[in-house]
Amino acid sequence: MYSNVAFALTLLGVFSILENFRSNYKFSLLRYHILALLFILTISSAIDFLDLSGYLVPYYKEVTKFFGIGLIINLFFVLVLKKIPKIIMIIEGIYIFFFIIMFYYGLQFPLVIDNKLIHSRSDYNKIFYIFCLIFIVSSLLFNIIKLFTNKNNNNLYEIKIKKWVGTLLIAIFILFLMNVFFLNLFLKGNNTFHNNIYTTTFIVRFFFIIFILYRPKFLDDDKYSMPFNEILINPKNLSIQKFEFVFYTNYYYLRQDANMEDLALKLNASKNELSSFLKEEIEMNFTELLNKNRIEYLKELLVAKKYESFTIEALSEMAGFNNRRNMYYAFDKYVGLTPTDFIKNIK
């Protein structure tokens, strides 16, 4: 039975890979991770089929599981944060280094097949497993917390992403904890719940392939994912001093025609470099930064004596707003009042 399931998952994986290549979207950081994960899942299922059919392939489970888990963790970071934090890449690099050393000395993951434990664990292996578990659990928890506490992105697309990714994150987290729990029960002598590792393995693979196949298509758009060739981009042309001079000292945010392309040009940087800089250094996107500073400037105009005769709309235009609705929305977001109520409160 398990060999048939492995063969079916292999075909499903091949279909998913072809579906990704047939789409018209440009390749991005997200799509590279999706394809890499699909390749791992498909290859694992194909080798499982050979293994279950009597053609033994040694050590493939260790390699595919290790890199498959890493890709899953990275995929969630890309979906939640739109990037892979540098600290995560450093930690993963350290894990890969130790995995290669452990693998060279015969590392094999413990497997439960037909109520029998395959491969014993050395003390070094146990330590490696524990640190891997800590990293996996903390990464999943971080993304779950970040996903549900981030209130900056409340447009329709981000809400859909939040529901879709959140459901999968929680499900995978539960499946992962159950798998670890049942394996530990078996290792302690209780083999009632976990008689074959293939059961949970195939469930997780099927879940991920379906998850990828039915992902919202707008996720493939570059608007929601940084292009692959800019993963390690270093905005060396940008500095806080240079940015502050153009944006603040020269009052760029007060221009009604302000936009990212124009600002990037003035800073001698690309649009994606500027976007990365704002996320890393300012922790805001361009629109949020623009509106927040315009509102602060508008508040100063509203309390200034020399502008008492000016209408709110006129002061709004002086602050850089060219749309009355956008100004009122931004004012309510950052002040919690309407401009009229704000004026009344300071009198």
Which sequence spans correspond to the domains of the chain?
A: 2-230, 240-346
When the candidates are 3.40.640.10, 1.10.10.60, 3.40.50.10210, 1.10.3720.10, the CATH number that belongs to 240-346 is 1.10.10.60
Q: Which of 275, 171, 280, 167 is nearest to 226 (CA)?
A: 275
Please provide the size of the chain in residues: 347
C-alpha distances out from residue 21 to 25, 37, 41, 174, 220, Å: 9, 14, 16, 31, 12
Q: Which tens digit of pLDDT belongs to each residue from 253-264?
A: 999 989 988 898
**pLDDT band of 191, cuts 50, 70, 90:** low
| CA dihedral (77, 80, 83, 85) positive or negative | negative
3-state helix, strand, coil in the chain (%, to 5): 75, 5, 25
Q: Which tens digit of pLDDT belongs to each residue from 102-136?
A: 777 776 666 655 556 565 566 777 788 888 888 98
Q: Which tens digit of pLDDT belongs to each residue from 1-23?
A: 678 888 888 998 888 888 777 65
Q: Which of 140, 192, 210, 194 is nearest to 169 (CA)?
A: 140
**pLDDT band of 241, cuts 50, 70, 90:** confident
What is the enclosing helix (H) or strand (E) of 204? Answer: helix 197-213
pTM: 0.56
Which whole number is the average pLDDT over 140-154? Answer: 73
- Cβ atoms of residues 328 and 291 within 8 Å: no
CATH second-level architecture of 2-230?
A: Up-down Bundle (1.20)
Q: How many Å apart are CA 212 and CA 204, to the nearest integer?
A: 12
- Cβ atoms of residues 286 and 278 within 8 Å: yes
